Amino acid sequence: MSASAFVNEAIKKNMDLSSKIESAMDSFGKALDGLESIVMPVFHEAESLQRRKENLEKTVKALEDVLGYYYVSRDLDSVIKDRPLNIGVDRYLAALERLKSASQFFIRNSPESKELENVICLLEFGIVTLNDEFKDIVSRNSKPLLPVNVTDLISGDVDSEKMVSLDFLPVDKREVLSKIADWLLLEDKDEFMNIYATFRSSALTKSLTALRDYHRSLSLGSSGASPSVASPTLRPKLLGKYTDTPSRKTSKKISSMIERTANKMLVKASQTIEQSTRLGIVNKRGGAIDSKEDCLDEVEVFWLVTAVEAFVKLLQIELKHMIGIIHLKHFKWVLSIIMKESLDLIVNDAEVLAAKSKRLIVKNEFSSLLSMLLVLKNLQLMKKDLDELFDGCSSQVRTKYSSFVNLYCEVSHNGLMTFLEYVRSGSGASLPKDGTVFEVTSNVLIFLEQLLHYVDAVGILLSKDEEYKTAWNLGRSKEEKCKECFGLYLKKAFSLLNLNLSVKSEEYSDACIKAVFRLNNFHHITKVLVRSGLLELLKRASSNCEDDYRTLIEKQKKMYFQCWLKVLNPITQEDLSPVVLDSGKLRDKDRNLIKEKFLAFNKEFEDLSQSQRGYSVPDMELRESLKRDNKEKVLPLYQDFYDNYSAVSFTKNVEKYIRYSPAQVSSQIDTFFDVTA
């Protein structure tokens, strides 16, 4: 077969095959069309039935929901009237959600129905029960902290495990409160926040009260004596038993912790205020101030210092406790309620202490002023924490706190001014008969030395006065500004003291003791200035003060040596010529002159010695320097006089006239300023 024939044959077969396939496809298409005409009506009918079913199900569900709303009160009555903790808080909240939905349905569709009344009644009951559950959990777990826990907080002896233990809520109870609080807040029900704040406020107040009662029990253990406010430690004999502790072991633990922490805190706060009780110390009538009502003891002051620190620490913990229970935007509102009662407690005690201090300051008991400054210093140290706590709180608590601070600033400032008046006037203090250091001088120096521990507090108080503003502006940092103001205050105090000493010394009739009195005081002032560190601050306002005091001391020494003139005049005036003495031929006139010289010297020297032994120079350095200077000025002159006349035969009764050799004069001078000599 030829190739063309083969191709033609193949084409023919393909055409036949295509024709058959086309015929088959036409038949299949007609079959599909026929099937579609049969199936589609069935499909549309099925689709319609499905929609009807869904609509029916929705209708049934809606009907069930509606019927459920009508029966929800009956169905949930037992759940709502049970405790949330008994059935589970999640289930209880879900039941409340159903009641809330039912109430919304009836409000929209049947506002006058009995069912709405029943639902609302049960819903309100559930909300009350929810609040009661919240209240019960908070109240059961809001126990006050023992003093041992509070002192641990203050001293910083609280590790992470102890800090966790101070959380008043177990984890499961915290979760319950958090869920209840979230649901109530979404429903605009904020009563739970008042409940929370009330119980936490009570716990905080009881914690502080327990600490205060324990501190006061220390005072009861002092055998009736009011302890010094200045004592740097709480003495063991003052430690009592904590009456609320369940066992002797616990009581001992608390006592130990209180004593340890108290010692640490008060030493830190008051430093060397121990000597402050030596101040002034008598009232204007000269009598000792022994009325218990007019005395400050260390327990009162330490309690107030401790209370403020405890207040801050406990409130900082309260803020942590609120996380997850109180919404952040309500923190400070709730905190204001929590702190109010405790703040009232502290401020009331502070006002009592301030009132006592006022009375004592009027009586020149300036140790009470140091107590005020101790509290102010503590407030300044905690200012950042206190400001953070009070920021955003209610105006009522902020005003209360401000009044507390302002009161102590006012009392302290007035006390500082009263002290200057005391320095100026001496407040009727009597002059020492022996010319020793004046009581006022001693009191002033002791007080100013103790005041060094409160430079910042004093500087800030003084900066408000117009006369101190220039000094305040001299400093670059706050610390330097305070030192400048303090230095100016020292300048005023020492200027008034110097004036007082000069005026008071004029009351002495004898010029010698007048000089001794001034010497004692100026020398004592100089030594204390150098030893205490007051000099460095005083130089800020009076750069030449050290030289000024040296000049005053030298001036008084010269005045003191004037008292020797009566003694030295007889032996330095109207001397006989060496020719007459060497000739051995003395006239009666010459003999009488020599006798008069010796008698006059003896009398004046003995009178001077007698008076000098009655004078007091308590400082050994000054005392020995005066004796040494006396010898250097007197002995050479007397030695010459003695050498010139002792060998001359001017009398048969030598012992009557020549009573003292130079060595005896020296020994006699050694007895000066010694009442036992």
Question: 375: domain CATH number?
Answer: 1.20.1280.170
3-class secondary-structure state, position 239: coil
Structure tokens at 558: 């010269």
Predicted confidence band of residue 675 (pLDDT cuts 50, 70, 90): low
In the listed set 122, 141, 160, which residue is the last one of a domain according to the structure?
Answer: 141
> Do the domain assignments include residue 365?
yes
Predicted confidence band of residue 459 (pLDDT cuts 50, 70, 90): very high
Predicted confidence band of residue 169 (pLDDT cuts 50, 70, 90): confident
- 374 with 262, same domain? yes
Predicted confidence band of residue 369 (pLDDT cuts 50, 70, 90): very high
- 133 with 151, same domain? no
CB 431, CB 507: distance < 8 Å: yes
* pLDDT at position 162: 56
* pLDDT at position 314: 94
CB 345, CB 208: distance < 8 Å: yes
- How far is 384 from 37, CA to CA, in rounded Å? 88
> Do the domain assignments include residue 662?
yes
**pTM of this structure:** 0.77
Structure tokens at 588: 């009666």
> Do the domain assignments include residue 58?
yes
For the chain, the straight-line distance linking the first and the last C-alpha, in angstroms and rounded, comes to 172
- 365 with 449, same domain? no
**How many CA atoms does the CB half-sphere of 636 hold within 13 Å?**
5
Predicted confidence band of residue 343 (pLDDT cuts 50, 70, 90): very high
* pLDDT at position 109: 86
Confidence check: pLDDT of 129 > 70:
yes
- How far is 200 from 181, CA to CA, in rounded Å? 16
> Do the domain assignments include residue 126?
yes
**Total number of domains constituting the chain:** 4
Structure tokens at 601: 């010297």
Sort 266 into a burial class: Cβ within 10 Å, 0-12 / 13-18 / 19+: buried
In the listed set 141, 174, 200, which residue is the last one of a domain according to the structure?
Answer: 141
Calculated CA dihedral for residues 323, 329, 335, 336, nearest 10 degrees: 180
- How far is 406 from 414, CA to CA, in rounded Å? 12
Confidence check: pLDDT of 393 > 50:
yes
Q: At a CB cut-off of 8 Å and minimum separation 6, what does 598 contact?
A: 570, 645, 657, 658, 659
- 118 with 200, same domain? no
- 400 with 451, same domain? no
Task: Give the domain range for residue 349.
Answer: 142-418
- 155 with 292, same domain? yes
> Do the domain assignments include residue 653?
yes
CB 228, CB 298: distance < 8 Å: yes
- 387 with 486, same domain? no
- Kindly state the average pLDDT of the residues 464-486: 90
> Do the domain assignments include residue 551?
no
Calculated CA dihedral for residues 638, 619, 490, 367, nearest 10 degrees: -150
- 253 with 317, same domain? yes
- 230 with 367, same domain? yes
- 299 with 338, same domain? yes
* pLDDT at position 57: 67
CB 651, CB 588: distance < 8 Å: no
In the listed set 368, 384, 418, which residue is the last one of a domain according to the structure?
Answer: 418
> Among 141-155, 218-232, 456-470, whose mean pLDDT is lowest?
218-232
Backbone angles phi, psi at 576, to 5 degrees: -75, 150
- 243 with 191, same domain? yes
- How far is 539 from 578, CA to CA, in rounded Å? 57
Structure tokens at 467: 């006369």
- 404 with 258, same domain? yes
> Do the domain assignments include residue 579?
yes
> Do the domain assignments include residue 458?
yes
